[in-house]
Structure 1
Amino acid sequence: MDRLTEMEAFATVVDQGGFTDAAKKMGISKSAVSKHVSSLEARLGARLLNRTTRRVSPTEIGLAYYDRARRVLNDAGEADALVTSMQSAPSGLLRISVATDFGVNHLSPVLGEFLQEFPDITVNMVLNNRFVELISEGFDLAIRIGELEDSTLRARKLTDTSKRMVGSPDYFRKFGRPEKIDELNDHKLLHYSNQSNGSVWKLTAPSGEKRQVRTAGWLSVNDGQSLLNAAISGLGIAYLPSFLYAEALKDGLVEEAMPELPADRQGIYAVYPPGRFTQPKVRAFIDFLVHAFADKGPDNW
């Protein structure tokens, strides 16, 4: 007889407290359940159940075997569910959290292609600049940039971006270009107002030394595109990711403030809740993003 079927019959008898209810649960005859259990006991050479006219209960050996058997059966059930899930067509509502800058400039433009490829998926994309709790807030996936905090979330890297200081040619003509990190204190600096570390730029000197610059200045904004617009307008120097400034740099609207400094490279990741298998809609979207950004970053945007 099939070993897994024997284990299932025995475990169901224990769960249901008898052969009659176990037979109903499994959808087979009572005699078939009894035959499976008897075959299991004969193969193991041990009595697993105490049988009386009123009740059936596991022996001490039977109880120990039940714990292991139930784990095996649960794993087998999850394996079946995994195969079914992986073969099913991606569908349903996909809730995504993404930082406004990246969402507007790079995720929104590719969503149409994704939805055409997977018409049974609907997307709810939430743009914000705060750290969301995926599970408690009901998100299937988030796009995060920079060093990932320790967590139980799973992550897949999509690409890289680099961060550099940029300003307009007009600004540098008027105020000069900083030659040393310390000279940034004499310039008009533009910074994000919602960063967890406050108004601090973390820079790397040509020597490799890590430096921190407090970026008090004319303008604080919680939106990177607004900072780029301010830099283009000549209001000061902004420290931005390449996915924001790359086009403006190519068009000559901004220039690097200190090109000799090493760029700060940051990863861009898709993060999603843990689990033994990934929902088809989530897996489909991540695979799509990996393909969509395959030729992007760190400076090629």
Structure 2
Amino acid sequence: MDRLTEMEAFAMVVDQGGFTDAAKKMGISKSAVSKHVSALEARLGARLLNRTTRRVSPTEIGLAYYDRARRVLNDAGEADALVTSMQLAPSGVLRISVATDFGVNLLSPVLGDFLQEFPDITVNMVLNNRYVELISEGFDMAIRVGELEDSSLRARKLTETSHRMIAAPGYLQQYGRPQKIDDLTEHKLLHYSNQSAGNVWKLTAPSGERRQVRSNGWLTVNDGQSLLHAAIAGLGIAYLPSYLYAEAMKNGLVEEAMPELPMETMGIYAIYPPGRFTQPKVRAFIDFLATTFADRGPDNW
């Protein structure tokens, strides 16, 4: 007899408290359930059930075996569900959380291609600059840039972006180019307002030493695109990811304020809830992003 069927029959008898109800649940005869359980006991050489005219209950050995058997059966069920889900066409509402800068500049331009490829998926993209709780807030996934804080979530690295200090040529001509990190305290700095550490830049000196630059800044705003525009206008030095400033730098609107500093890089990740398998709509979007950004970054944007 099939070992898994024997195990399922035994577990169902324990779950239902008897052979009759177990047979109804499995859609087979009572005698078939009894044969499966008897075959299992014979193969194991142990009595797993106490049988009386009124009730059926597991023996001590039977209870221990039931715990392990139930795990095996659950795993088998999940394996079946995995195969089924992987063969289904991706569909449904895909709710994504993404930082405003990345969403506007990189995701929005490619969403049309994704939706044409997967017409049964509807995308609900929420742009914000705060850390969202994926599961409790009902998101299927998020795109995050930089160090990952929650290790309980699953992550797939899509690409990298560099992080540099940039300023307009006119600003550097007027105020001079900082020669060392300490010089930055004398300059007009443009800051993100949503940084948890406040107006602090974490930089690496040419020696490899990690340094922190703290300044109130001349302008603080919660949007990277606005900081880029401010830098282009000559209002100060901004510390931004390359996917924001790359085009402006190619056009000569900004340049590196301190090119001698080591390049800082940050990972760009697709984040999604833990589980034994991934929803087809989530898997489809992550695979699409991985292909889209395969030849991008850290400076190639």
Compute the TM-score of the two structures, normalised by the length of structure 1: 0.98
Quote the residue 1:264 is aligned against: 264
Number of residues of Structure 1 aligned to a counterpart in Structure 2: 301
Tell me the amino acid that sits aligned with residue 276 of structure 1: R
Tell me the amino acid that sits aligned with residue 277 of structure 1: F
Quote the residue 2:244 is aligned against: 244
Secondary structure, aligned partner of 1:297: coil
Spell out the pairing of 1:269-280 with structure 2 (5 A cutoff): 269-280=269-280
CA displacement at 1:245 relative to structure 2 = 0.3
1:114 aligns with 2:114: yes
* Deviant stretches of 4+, over 2 Å: none
Does the CA-based 8 Å contact 2:169-2:254 persist in structure 1?
yes
Tell me the amino acid that sits aligned with residue 177 of structure 1: R
CA displacement at 1:300 relative to structure 2 = 0.5
Compute the TM-score of the two structures, normalised by the length of structure 2: 0.98
Quote the residue 2:6 is aligned against: 6
Tell me the amino acid that sits aligned with residue 214 of structure 1: R
For residues 168-193 of structure 1, give each alpha carbon's deviation from its aligned partner in whole angstroms, at most 9, with x where no partner exists.
11111211111111111221111111
RMSD: 0.9
Q: Distance in 2 between matches of 1:146 and 1:139?
A: 19
Secondary structure, aligned partner of 1:137: coil
Q: Distance in 2 between matches of 1:67 and 1:195?
A: 48
Spell out the pairing of 1:86-165 with structure 2 (5 A cutoff): 86-165=86-165
Which shifted more, 5-14 or 57-66? 57-66
Tell me the amino acid that sits aligned with residue 268 of structure 1: I
CA displacement at 1:21 relative to structure 2 = 0.5
Q: Distance in 2 between matches of 1:57 and 1:193?
A: 64
Does the CA-based 8 Å contact 1:99-1:143 persist in structure 2?
yes
CA displacement at 1:217 relative to structure 2 = 2.2
Q: Distance in 1 between matches of 2:216 and 2:238?
A: 12
Q: Distance in 1 between matches of 2:210 and 2:69?
A: 56
Secondary structure, aligned partner of 2:61: helix
Which shifted more, 189-198 or 47-56? 47-56
Tell me the amino acid that sits aligned with residue 42 of structure 2: A
Quote the residue 1:36 is aligned against: 36
CA displacement at 1:150 relative to structure 2 = 4.1
Q: Distance in 2 between matches of 1:41 and 1:209?
A: 68
Q: Distance in 2 between matches of 1:192 and 1:103?
A: 17
For residues 247-281 of structure 1, give each alpha carbon's deviation from its aligned partner in whole angstroms, at most 9, with x where no partner exists.
00000000111111112110000111001111111
Q: Which runs of 5+ in 2 are unaligned?
A: none
